[in-house]
C-alpha cells in the first residue's frame, strides 16, 4: 500500500512540471496527458489514507505510455527535449511515486546496527545505534592480484553493496561550486586536488533502486575504487595473511564516533560506479547484492586515479537503443524502462512488458529472416543498412501491444511461438498480396518506387491495424489459425488503392507524423466499413468522407457534420455542458477546438484538442462552467477536422440564456 499523501504529491509534481514544457503543452500529446491527470484524481477519491500498489502501477503505465510516445514523436526544437527528458528522469520510472523526493534511507548492513542515512547540509551522514555490546564491525574482503601492465598491479574483489556504500566516498566537485572558485582551481592546479568527480545524480540512483526492486537482477561490470596513499592504515589497508592472500580491511570502529559516520570520513574513493553502489545500497537488495570491484592500490596517487576516471567517462558512449534491445533479448535482461525490459516472464509478478517485448522482438527476427514475408525488411541493428521498412525500436513500440493483456497473443492465448509466427506470416503475406507489384522485395530493383506502405513512417499502418484486422477476421473465422486468405478477405477494401502511385505519395508521404496517421485513419475506416470499391472511387477527389473511397478527397463540408447539442442547453451556466461530435470518415482522429469571443481566444473553457473518441464513438467537447468572463453573452466554438488534403472548420455560436 502507498500513502495517498505521497501519491498526490507525485501526481501534482508530474502535472506541473510537464505542463511547463511549452512544446509538449502545445502538442497533440498534452490532451491525453491532461485526461490522465483528471481521471487519476477521480479514481483516487475511492481511497482514504492508502491506495494499492497495483493501482499505482496502472496509473504509472498509463502516463509512461503517453509521455514516452510524446518524447519519441514530437519534433523537438531548442531546449524543449532536454527539459522533457529531465522531468522523465526525475519522475517517470517504476515506483517513482515512492522515490522521487526521498532523502532518507534505511541501510541494511551488518557493519552498523540500525543504520540510517540522512543528508545534512549537503553531506551524507550515517546514524546508527551506539551500543557498546555491538560496536561497528570490520569489513574484510579477500582480493586477487591482477597484473595489468609490466610493473602495474590492481586488486579484484567483491563486496556487499551496503558495505561499499559505507566504506567509499566520492571525490566529487561540489554542486554549488561558483564560477570564480572554478576559475581558481583551473589557474591553481594544487587547489582541492581531491575533488574532480561529477556529483551524484540522484535520479540515476533512484532508477537503479527501482531496477533492483524485484531482486532478480545483478551487476556484472565492476566498480572502481581507490585506496589513497594518504589514508590512515588504522582506517583502511590491504594486508596479507599467512597464505599470501591479500585482504582489504576497513575498520569502522575507527571511522565512526558516537553513533555517527560522516560521509566525508569514508576512507575509500569511488572512481567509477557511484550510482550503482548508492542505488543498490539504498534498495531492498543492499545487504544481499554483491558488487564486483577493482581496487587501485596506494601506489597509484590521486592524480592517476583522476586520469583513470577521465579516460573512462570521456571515451565511453551509451549504446544505441537497437543494440541495447539486442543484448536485452539475447541475455534476458530486466530493465526499469518498460520499453527495454526483456527478463523472464513470471506470471506471479505480472511482468507482462518483459514477455511482450521478448515476443515482439522474437517475431521481428523470425519474420525478417530469409524466406519470410518481411525478409530483411526490419532493421534489427543499424549495421543492417537502410533498405528496410521499419527499425526495431518502432516495431517494438507497436507490435508489443499484440502480446500485452487483452491483445490477440497475450499470456492467456494458448498459442505457441510457431503458431504465432505462422499466423503473423499469413497476415503480412496478405498485405503484400493486396498491395501487389508496388511491394519491393529485398535486393530487387525498384526500391525508390516502392509502395508508400514500405516507407519507414507508413509501414506503421500495418502494425497499428493488426489488432483491428485480426479481430474482424477472427469474428468471421471462428476456429483454427487465420490463413493468408482469411486476412486477404478483410483487406479487400484496399484492393484498388494504388499505394505506389505518385498521387498518393504527393499527398501522404511527408515527414510530419500527421500524414501517416491520416493514412492510418483512412485504412481504419475502410477496413471497418468492409466494402471493396473500384479504383476510380477509391482514388477519387470528390468522394468526401466516405469510408473506403476518396483517399484524395477533402473532408465532408462542415454542414454535413454530426453534432448533437447538450439536452440541457449548450451554455455552461452552473454545470459543464457537452457537445457530442462524430468524426467524419477518413479524417485524422484529432479534433481541434477553440473558444472565441469575437477575435479573442478564451482559454480553459474547453480542451484544445481531443485525440480519440469515447466508447460510444463520439467526441465529447466540454464547455466548462464558471470560466466565461462576465459581460460575455455569446461565444463561438470553432471545431476543426483535418485529413492529408485539407482542414475543414465549423463555428458554432452559443448564447447566454436570457
Tell me the three-class secondary structure of 389-421, residue by residue: CEEHHHHHHHHHHHCCCCCCCCCCCCCCHHHHH
Strand (E) or helix (H) holding 619: strand 618-623
The full DSSP string for 198-252 is PPP-HHHHHHHHHHTTTS-----SPEEEE--TTS-TTTEEEEE-TTS-EEEEEEH
Same domain, 121 and 257: yes
Angle, alpha carbons 572-577-582 (nearest 5°): 140
* C-alpha cell recorded at residue 547: 469510408
- Count of the separate structural domains present in the chain: 4
Distance CA 389, CA 79 (A): 31
Same domain, 41 and 119: no
Distance CA 420, CA 362 (A): 11
Same domain, 289 and 422: no
How many residues comprise the chain?
Answer: 658
Q: Residue 87: CB partners within 8 Å, gap ≥ 6?
A: 14, 17, 18, 21
Distance CA 534, CA 523 (A): 16
Residue with cell 527528458: 85
Q: pTM of the full predicted structure? A: 0.71
Relative orientation angle of helices 4-19 and 30-44, to the nearest 10 degrees = 160
Using a 10 angstrom Cβ sphere, with 0-12 exposed, 13-18 middle and 19 or more buried, the burial of residue 108 is: middle
Same domain, 270 and 331: no
Among the candidates 458, 490, 522, a domain finishes at 490
Same domain, 401 and 440: yes
Radius of gyration of the chain (CA): 30
Same domain, 481 and 391: yes
CB 551 within 8 A of CB 520: no
Q: How far is CA 173 from the centre of its chain?
A: 31
Among the candidates 315, 344, 372, a domain finishes at 315
In a domain, 511, yes or no: no
- Give the number of other Cβ atoms within 10 Å of residue 26's Cβ: 12
Consecutive sets of 10 residues in the chain, 658 residues long: mean pLDDT of each? 87 89 85 84 85 87 88 82 87 80 83 86 84 88 80 83 89 59 59 50 48 54 86 91 83 91 88 80 77 84 62 60 85 80 87 93 91 90 84 94 95 95 97 95 88 95 97 94 97 97 95 91 97 97 96 94 93 91 95 93 87 87 90 94 96 92
Helix (H, G, I), strand (E, B) or coil at 629: coil
Strand (E) or helix (H) holding 311: helix 302-315
In a domain, 539, yes or no: no
In Å, how far are 93, 260, 394, 398, 428 from 85, measured between CA atoms? 12, 37, 19, 22, 35
What pLDDT shows up at residue 75? 81
Same domain, 48 and 12: yes
What pLDDT shows up at residue 192? 58
Same domain, 479 and 342: yes
Left, alpha or beta for 635 (phi > 0: left; psi -120 to 50: alpha)? beta
Helix (H, G, I), strand (E, B) or coil at 289: coil
In a domain, 360, yes or no: yes
Using a 10 angstrom Cβ sphere, with 0-12 exposed, 13-18 middle and 19 or more buried, the burial of residue 442 is: middle
Same domain, 449 and 348: yes
Same domain, 330 and 380: yes
Among the candidates 258, 286, 315, a domain finishes at 315
CB 293 within 8 A of CB 164: yes
In a domain, 51, yes or no: yes
Same domain, 206 and 141: yes
In Å, how far are 85, 177, 292, 303, 308 from 313, measured between CA atoms? 21, 21, 19, 16, 9
Distance CA 588, CA 579 (A): 19
In a domain, 263, yes or no: yes
Handedness of CA 96, 98, 101, 103 (dihedral sign): negative
Q: Residue 23: CB partners within 8 Å, gap ≥ 6?
A: 74, 76, 77, 80, 84
Pairing mode, strands 390-391 and 378-379: parallel
Left, alpha or beta for 261 (phi > 0: left; psi -120 to 50: alpha)? beta
In a domain, 505, yes or no: no
Cα pseudo-dihedral 476, 478, 483, 485, rounded to 10? -30
In a domain, 527, yes or no: no
Range of the domain at 586: 558-655
Handedness of CA 471, 477, 478, 480 (dihedral sign): negative
In a domain, 325, yes or no: yes
Same domain, 146 and 26: no
Amino acid at each position: 500500500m502507498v500513502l495517498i499523501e505521497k501519491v498526490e504529491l507525485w501526481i501534482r509534481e508530474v502535472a506541473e512540471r510537464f505542463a511547463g514544457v511549452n512544446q509538449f503543452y502545445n502538442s497533440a500529446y498534452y490532451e491525453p496527458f491532461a485526461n490522465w491527470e483528471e481521471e487519476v484524481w477521480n479514481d483516487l477519491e475511492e481511497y482514504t489514507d492508502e491506495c494499492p500498489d497495483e493501482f499505482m502501477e496502472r496509473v504509472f503505465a498509463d502516463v509512461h505510455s503517453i509521455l514516452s510516445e510524446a518524447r519519441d514523436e514530437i519534433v523537438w526544437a531548442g531546449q524543449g527535449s532536454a527539459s522533457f527528458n529531465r522531468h522523465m528522469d526525475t519522475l517517470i520510472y517504476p515506483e517513482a511515486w515512492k522515490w522521487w523526493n526521498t532523502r532518507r534511507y534505511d541501510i541494511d548492513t551488518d557493519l552498523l546496527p540500525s543504520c540510517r542515512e540522512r543528508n545534512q547540509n549537503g553531506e551524507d551522514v550515517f546514524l546508527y545505534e551506539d551500543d557498546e555490546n555491538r560496536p561497528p564491525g570490520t569489513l574484510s574482503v579477500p582480493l586477487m592480484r591482477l597484473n595489468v601492465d609490466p610493473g602495474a598491479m590492481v586488486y579484484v574483489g567483491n563486496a556487499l553493496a551496503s558495505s561499499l556504500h559505507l566504506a567509499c566516498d566520492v571525490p566529487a566537485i561540489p554542486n554549488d561550486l561558483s564560477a570564480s572558485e572554478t576559475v581558481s582551481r583551473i589557474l591553481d592546479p594544487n587547489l582541492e586536488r581531491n575533488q574532480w568527480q561529477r556529483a551524484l545524480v540522484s535520479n540515476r540512483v533512484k532508477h537503479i533502486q527501482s531496477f533492483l526492486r524485484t531482486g532478480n537482477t545483478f551487476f556484472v561490470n565492476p566498480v572502481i575504487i581507490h585506496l589513497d596513499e594518504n589514508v590512515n592504515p588504522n582506517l583502511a589497508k590491504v594486508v596479507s595473511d599467512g597464505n599470501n592472500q591479500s585482504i582489504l580491511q576497513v575498520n569502522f570502529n575507527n571511522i565512526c564516533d558516537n553513533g555517527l559516520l560522516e560521509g566525508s570520513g569514508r576512507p575509500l574513493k569511488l572512481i567509477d560506479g557511484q550510482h550503482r553502489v548508492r542505488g543498490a545500497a539504498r534498495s531492498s537488495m543492499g545487504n544481499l547484492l554483491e558488487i564486483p570491484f577493482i581496487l587501485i592500490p596506494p601506489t597509484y596517487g590521486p592524480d592517476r586515479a583522476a586520469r583513470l576516471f577521465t579516460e573512462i567517462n570521456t571515451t565511453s558512449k551509451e549504446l544505441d537503443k537497437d543494440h541495447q534491445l539486442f543484448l536485452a533479448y539475447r541475455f534476458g535482461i530486466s530493465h526499469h524502462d518498460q520499453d527495454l525490459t526483456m527478463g523472464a516472464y513470471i506470471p506471479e509478478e505480472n511482468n507482462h512488458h518483459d514477455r511482450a517485448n521478448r515476443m515482439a522482438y522474437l517475431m521481428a527476427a523470425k519474420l525478417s529472416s530469409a524466406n519470410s514475408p518481411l525478409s530483411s525488411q526490419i532493421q534489427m541493428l543499424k549495421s543492417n543498412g537502410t533498405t528496410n521498412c521499419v527499425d526495431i525500436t518502432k516495431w517494438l513500440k507497436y507490435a508489443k501491444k499484440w502480446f500485452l493483456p487483452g491483445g490477440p497473443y497475450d499470456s492467456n492465448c494458448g498459442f505457441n511461438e510457431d503458431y504465432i509466427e505462422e499466423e503473423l506470416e499469413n497476415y503480412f503475406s496478405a498485405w503484400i498480396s493486396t498491395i501487389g507489384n508496388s511491394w519491393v522485395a529485398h535486393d530487387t530493383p525498384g526500391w525508390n518506387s516502392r509502395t508508400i506502405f514500405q516507407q519507414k513512417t507508413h509501414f506503421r499502418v500495418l502494425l497499428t491495424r493488426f489488432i483491428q484486422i485480426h479481430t474482424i477476421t477472427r469474428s468471421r473465422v471462428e476456429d483454427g489459425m487465420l490463413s493468408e486468405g482469411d486476412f486477404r478477405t478483410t483487406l479487400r477494401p484496399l484492393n484498388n488503392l494504388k499505394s505506389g502511385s505518385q498521387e498518393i505519395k504527393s499527398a501522404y508521404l511527408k515527414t510530419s507524423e500527421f500524414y501517416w496517421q491520416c493514412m492510418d485513419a483512412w485504412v481504419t475506416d475502410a477496413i471497418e466499413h468492409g466494402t471493396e470499391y473500384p479504383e476510380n472511387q477509391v482514388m477519387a477527389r470528390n468522394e468526401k468522407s466516405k469510408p473506403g473511397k476518396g483517399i484524395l478527397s477533402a473532408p465532408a463540408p462542415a454542414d454535413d457534420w454530426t453534432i448533437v447539442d447538450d439536452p440541457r442547453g449548450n451554455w455552461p451556466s452552473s454545470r459543464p455542458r457537452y457537445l457530442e461530435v462524430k468524426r467524419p470518415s477518413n479524417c485524422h482522429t484529432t479534433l481541434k477546438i477553440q473558444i472565441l469571443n469575437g477575435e479573442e481566444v478564451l482559454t480553459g473553457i474547453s480542451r484544445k484538442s481531443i485525440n480519440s473518441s469515447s466508447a460510444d464513438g463520439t467526441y465529447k467537447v466540454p464547455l466548462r462552467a464558471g470560466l466565461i468572463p462576465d459581460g460575455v453573452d455569446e461565444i463561438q466554438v470553432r471545431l476543426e477536422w483535418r485529413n492529408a488534403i485539407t482542414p475543414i472548420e465549423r463555428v458554432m455560436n452559443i448564447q447566454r440564456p436570457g
